[in-house]
Amino acid sequence: MKKKYINLISCCFIFFFLFEIFIHSNNIVKSIYKSSTIWFYNIVPTIFPIYIIVDLLLNYNAINYLSQLFGKFMERFFKMKKETSFVFLLSIISGFPSNSKYLKSLLDKKIINQKEAIKLLTFTHFGNPLFIIESIGVIFLHNKTIGILILTVHYLTNFIIGFFNRNYYVNFENENKYQSKEKNSFINCLTNSIFNTLKILFLLYGIITFFMIITTILKEVLPFSNNFTNIICGLLEMTQGIYYISYSKIPLLLKATFITFFLSFGGFSIHLQVFSILKDYKLQYSNYLLARVIHGIIASSLVFLILYFKL
């Protein structure tokens, strides 16, 4: 009976949004065009080459090489297996939701288990450095220095979360070095990597577009002020929330604070992207959600305090 009511409510919401799509078709088309632009010009250039390179690295024992160089740091600072340095370092370079792709690679190879995966997922939520400095700092806030500040605080908070979460499920047993068993030629490996990457990219495109449509409808129907609606949009879809806040009529201090929170929280669109990539593994979402809330609060508070005494 309970499931029946849930299905009924879900159908009502779907029909409501379908009706709103027809009513506000012009704005919906614009939002789809905007999501397509974001995906093609921001997501594809930063993710496509990185994902392919990572897949190729997995075939040439990059996990072992990185674990030898940075494994001790992961063991002592985060109490994680040496092999997890592969995910941590590449996530810093490429940003989310790439971390979920790298995690999936370790899970597929049975290098880590599900508890280790969710622990690692809580503190590898790094925004793409180019997006933070150039898009947020230069384009949205017109201040590269603030972009660098947001990047520094955003990354530092990940380290803080990882350090204080270090005693959650410590496991160093059965640490066998990973050796690639792939016998395919380079061309075959490259072809497989391209196909796998394209599948993930189109999945991300669908999720981004879906949330962009939802936030567009909410801005049309919610009886709230523009600033409050912008915050709701940012919690649902990070990029659109950052865009709206950057062009709102609020002080630069508050713009930077809200943008930092959106970036560190990620938005439910990013959450869905991460767990869609990891859908084959039943990871506990509540731990990830709590880490994102804490990340958002700490990072945005630090940015607010620094800019408050600096501006």
Structure tokens at 189: 């490996």
Distance CA 178, CA 105 (A): 12
Distance CA 118, CA 99 (A): 11
Q: Using alpha carbons only, give the angle 272, 290, 97 rounded to the nearest 5 degrees.
A: 35
What residue has token string 């050796």?
179
Distance CA 231, CA 262 (A): 9
Distance CA 42, CA 306 (A): 29
Task: Kindly report, residue by residue over 18-50, the tens digit of the pLDDT.
Answer: 787 888 788 888 888 888 887 887 778 767 887
Indicate whether 177 pLDDT > 60. no
What integer pLDDT is reported at residue 184 of this predicted model? 63
Q: CA dist 85 to 99, 109, 168, Å? A: 12, 15, 17
Distance CA 190, CA 207 (A): 26
What integer pLDDT is reported at residue 122 of this predicted model? 92
Q: By 3-state DSSP, what share of the chain in percent is helix, strand and coil, each rounded to 5?
A: 80, 0, 20
Q: Which three-class secondary structure state does DSSP give residue 174?
A: coil
Which sequence spans correspond to the domains of the chain? 33-61+94-170+179-310
Give me the amino acid identity at 45.
Answer: P
Task: Kindly report, residue by residue over 205-247, the tens digit of the pLDDT.
Answer: 888 888 888 888 887 777 667 788 888 888 988 888 888 898 8
Asked if residues 274 and 248 have their Cβ atoms less than 8 Å apart, the reply is no
